[in-house]
Amino acid sequence: MIVAEDGSFCHNRGVDLGALREALQQADEDIEEARGGSTITQQTAKNLFLWSGRSFVRKALEFTLAIWINLVLPKRRVMEIYLNIAEWGPDGQFGAEAAARYSFGKSARDLTARESAELAAILPNPLRRSARAASPLVRRLAGLYEYRAAAIRRSMTASAPPAPPSKGKRVPL
């Protein structure tokens, strides 16, 4: 979800001013046309406390709430809340567990990387996109997200410090 929705999630402070500014510039200052720019924390604030319509008032409240959420909750908890309050299906499926059961007939903990990526690909519009009957767009986005997540895992493994030696074992120098 992080690679699909908010690549800066792990290090932003609830908002990404650069992404927000870019989204507004691309929309030519028309809030009705603005796309992207919201962090996972902002989306959590909107889904939890605000309405779904687009307006400068809602965006200002979302911005303020996202900064507050970032101050009071750890990132892991923000992600947990986000995954459990997001709408994932056309019949009111809310939460990752309901999404997994609706789309794949199994628990979220049993999803493959590809199935998880397909769920990520249906956001932000689960009413038009489906993981249950994935369109070419959903499949293409899922492939991209799966590739990016694997690349991040590889880079994290490559940059991880070596494990400390076990007690009682000689480690060659």
Quick: pLDDT tens for 62-72: 999 999 999 99
State yes or no: pLDDT of 36 exceeds 80: no
pTM score, whole prediction: 0.80
Query: DSSP assignment of 90-138, as one string?
Result: TT--BSHHHHHHHHHSS-GGG--HHHHHHHHHHTT-TTT--STT--HHH
* Opening angle at CA 78, ends 111 and 124, nearest 5: 60
Q: Decide if 25 contacts 37 (C-beta within 8 A).
A: no
- Reply yes or no on whether the pLDDT at 97 is more than 70: yes
Q: What is the DSSP letter of 173?
A: -
Question: How many contiguous H segments (helices) and E segments (strands) does the chain have?
Answer: 8, 0
Q: Residue 17's pLDDT is what?
A: 86
Residue 164, preceding peptide bond in cis (omega within 30° of 0): no
Residue 39 has pLDDT above 90, yes or no: yes
User: Tell me, what's the pLDDT at 23?
Assistant: 72
pLDDT tens by residue, 114-139 = 999 999 999 989 999 999 999 999 99
| Residue 20: pLDDT over 80 | no
At 30 the pLDDT is 54
Q: What is the phi/psi pair of residue 106, to 5°?
A: -150, 170
The rounded mean pLDDT for the chain is 87
Backbone angles phi, psi at 94, to 5 degrees: -120, 135
Nearest residue to 95 via CA among 115, 75, 119: 119
Mean pLDDT, residues 28-32 taken together: 53
* Residue 87 backbone dihedrals phi, psi, to 5 degrees: -85, 130
